[in-house]
Amino acid sequence: VQLQACGGGLVQAGGSLSLSCAVSGSIFSITNMGWYRQALGKQRELVAAISSTSTNYADSVKGRFTISRDNAGNTVYLQMNSLKPEDTAVYFCNVDLLYNDYGVPAAHNYWGQGTLVTVSS
């Protein structure tokens, strides 16, 4: 199983960026998908999460960020609008899934590689 995160970069305050994270491999199903971030010197925190029935956002990003999944359910997106300097962090995708362990579904949690988002003031 692989998670490939794309997007990120440098943007001015008030601007927008979009992140994506594609999951590939021998997978039975994906349940929860989410984005976390870790700023320099701080703990990793949940930014947004999405399941088949609901979405959840950190208070600090509500109304500015939108998490979504593609129809196949294997790619998660994070649209970030009205970015602030305090959004600067390394962003990580995270998924809960059932993978094919020699024909047997096995639950596991995976992290994607981080992608840096820098918001200048």
- The model's pLDDT over 49-76, given as tens digits with 9 standing for 90+, comes to 999 899 999 999 999 999 999 878 799 9
pLDDT in tens, 75-107: 999 999 999 999 999 999 999 998 888 888 898
**Among the listed residues 97, 82, 112, the one whose alpha carbon sits nearest the alpha carbon of residue 13:** 82
| DSSP output for 33-73 | EEEEEE-TTS--EEEEEE-SS-EEE-TTTTTTEEEEE-TTS
